[in-house]
A and B are shown apart, each in its own frame.
Chain A
Amino acid sequence: MNAAPASFYRRTADALADARLRGAVGRVTASVRRSRQAALDRLPDADAWRDHARQLRAHTIAHLDRYLDEFAAAIEARGGHVFYAPTAEDAIAYVTSLVRSRNLKTAVKSKSMISEEIDLNARLEAAGVRVVETDLGEYVVQLADDHPSHIVMPIIHKTRGEIADLFRAKAGATDADLTDVASMTQFARRTLRPEFLRADLGVSGVNFGVASTGTLCVCTNEGNGRLVTTLPRVHVAMMGIERLVPTPEDLTVMLQILGRSATGQNLTVYTNLINGPRPADETDGPSELHVVLVDNGRSRVLGSELAEILYCIRCGACLNACPVYQEIGGHAYGSVYPGPFGSVLTPALRGLETFHDLPHASSLCGACREACPVRIDIPRMLLALRADDAKAHHAPWWIATGLRVYRWVATSPRRFQTAGRLTAKLMRTTSRDGWIRWLPPPLSGWTSTRDFPVMAVESFQERWARRTKPPEQNPS
């Protein structure tokens, strides 16, 4: 995973100042939201599919030990290798030792968030392997030495012009290759095709592993996922330990909602099921299959009140739905996993010390929970993380102190009314026409763009008491 972020606020400010970025992210997420809704509307009983999918994920995660056993045994029965990697380093050590022992020189990769998480590319390069990203978006990210800013649409933040410049500067494209998106796509096809044909290692992610059969499901639209898992002689599949479903039939339930939620497609173009290395009687496909099951903090999350985040199927719908993501894009989050689910998963996996701002980067509007195909209660877990954060004393002094004072005031109706009256009078000294235009730090954040209404000297309750007081007790 990338280095720890310097400052969430700094990155947010940069993102907000970038009108082009916000325009691009806003346009694309809006378009995908519409496609998603249309795709779910096309599916009769979409809500029931989602409910069932949630139950499947919940049951699987709550019995992950059993399903991992089944999954590993089924892969091994077909001649695949399974490695349990407790940490990122263990996973990297396994893959680098594999490339040495098999003398692998060139790797083609299809999109895999887990390999981004453990920074596999850099470590493979360090081990002398040339790594080529083959998903068009990831290829651009690699050429630009950038990071994906969305888990499904990695270069949502880049314009066609920037990509054209990059293809010209880094990949030798000519003007004829760059006339439109179609010609740029064909340029990528021509450039990457020889890489597929010559690579000796294919690295893929895994969308779902099927426990009962040991099947790996890899979904791509471009076809690179198939090429990566068919042409090179060794296929390494990287997956988080939580990516399982019990049976092939359960897999079809998840597939009914994955493509629809992610991109608004009924199914991704290539829903690829891999059942082990090439058998003796088949003529293509890799001769070796290695499945690396990466824990890297997941079992810790599994043993917490945040375990529900492991139900996530990485469709990205919560990113597209989130009004915060729409304003700041993915890079501001400083993690491979941006957006609402990332604001839970990142601190859960990597700790609140570095990522304590993320759970606060939400208005708790709940759009993520509504969009999530498996109905993960992201706001609940953001709140749980905020509570952990408060316990760890990461909150700014003025919030901690302010809330302590507020509690003291608001647990006593008398203090509550007195404090309200005094504040109202104080506000009146600086207000004009019932509005306050300036507040001192730390409240200046509000008045930087908004006015604040003055409080009433007489509260509702005071007026109500006057109204309802029986006349005989009211001498006036």
Chain B
Amino acid sequence: MTPDARAAMRAAIAAAIGRGSFPDAAADHPGVFSWPPPAGDRAARFRAELEALGGTCHDMPEPSADAVVALLDRLMAGRGQRRVLMWDEALLPVAGLPTALVRAGISIDTVTTGDMDSIERRDELASATIGLTGADAALAETGSIVLASGPGRARLASLLPPIHVALVERHRLVDSLAALIRQRPDLATAGANVVCITGPSRTADIEHTLSRGVHGPGEVHVVFVG
């Protein structure tokens, strides 16, 4: 589009605004909204919300690679390939995971540069049974986790496998999405993609009957570590 065409459309919009009527429109931005702080315990709320959606919340007060692998091992029993698609180990809040996974006979995949250009690699990435990630935040009000993309933080790990396991440090638990963005406004643009995941993938398109795991993971496990 030529700059002129864009300017023309822009001018048409500006002129229209001069003619239109906009009930309750203030000249100035209405400012920020204040809400009452939610009552009750964040961790309990998070668990209740996530479980209501069919997700699972785990507590790992003394985290170790072996404990995480034991969980993954249990989750993938009878579920296809013993394969985990994961973030870079340095970005996960539990150390030593690759060694422990290999020791348990679980293969590891990560998304690397150029993978998107190869159909074979895409299919391979899609064959993992578990996606293992960290998270930037957990939201008590909705049982959600927030994941920003970035180097070593592949989006596909929380998306392609049928099971998603997120390891989250307890201090990352905040009240709500609104509270999170107010506290950390930069987080919304921390990666080319920032996703807020609220429970397992679901649909109710057929006769309004709930069904989980349509395109994203049908199982979501949030593991609070520490």
> Do A's and B's CB atoms come within 8 Å in the complex?
yes
Chain A positions near chain B (C-beta within 8 angstroms): 24, 27-28, 31-32, 44-45, 48-49, 52, 54-56, 58-59, 61-65, 68-69, 78, 83-84, 86, 94, 134-137, 140, 153-156, 158-160, 163, 181-182, 184-186, 188-189, 192-193, 196-198, 210, 213, 215, 221-224, 226-227, 229-231, 233, 241, 246-249, 251-253, 255-256, 263, 265-279, 281-285, 287, 295, 299-305, 307-308, 377
- Let me know if B211 and A278 touch, CB within 8 A: no
- Residues of A contacting B6 with CB < 8 Å? 84
* B16 pairs with A303, CB closer than 8 A: yes
Within the assembled complex, what's the spacing in Å between the Cα atoms of A395 and B35? 49
Contacts A62-B22, A304-B19; is A266 near B192 (CB within 8 Å)? no
Query: Which A residue's beta carbon lies closest to that of B184?
Result: A248
Residue from B29, B116, B141, B156 whose CB has the most chain A CB atoms within 10 Å: B116
Pairwise interchain contact A197-B126, C-beta atoms closer than 8 A: yes
Check if B33 sits within 8 Å of A269, measured CB to CB.
no
| B191 touches A (CB below 8 Å) | yes
Q: Residue of A at shortest CB range from B217? A: A223
Q: Are A181 and B207 in contact (CB under 8 A)?
A: yes
Instruction: Render B16-45 as a binary contact track against A, CB cut-off 8 A, 1 for contact.
Output: 111111111111111011011010000000
Q: In the complex, what distance in Å separates the CA atom of A360 from the CA atom of B55?
A: 46
Task: Evaluate whether A160 and B206 lie within 8 angstroms (CB atoms) in the complex, with A266-B198, A269-B200 already known.
Answer: yes
Give B residues with C-beta under 8 Å from A.
Answer: 1, 5-6, 8-10, 12-30, 32-33, 35-36, 38, 49, 53, 111-113, 115-117, 119, 122-123, 126, 141-144, 149-151, 153-156, 159, 176-178, 181-182, 185, 188-189, 191-209, 211-217
Q: Which of B35, B38, B177, B197 contacts A270 (CB 8 A)?
A: B197
Q: Are B16 and A273 in contact (CB under 8 A)?
A: no
Please tell me which one of the listed residues B16, B29, B123, B177 contacts residue A59 in the complex, with CB atoms under 8 A apart.
B29
Does B25 contact A299, Cβ atoms closer than 8 Å?
no
Taking a contact as CB atoms under 8 Å apart, the answer to whether B181 and A248 are in contact is yes
Q: Is the CB of A251 within 8 A of B188?
A: yes
Complex formed: what's the CA distance from A281 to B91 in Å?
15
Interface hub of B49, B111, B181, B206 (most chain A Cβ within 10 A): B206
Q: Given A44-B36, A59-B26, A283-B154, does the pair A271, B195 have CB atoms closer than 8 Å?
A: yes
Could you tell me the distance between the alpha carbons of A109 and B177 in the complex, rounded to whole angstroms? 27
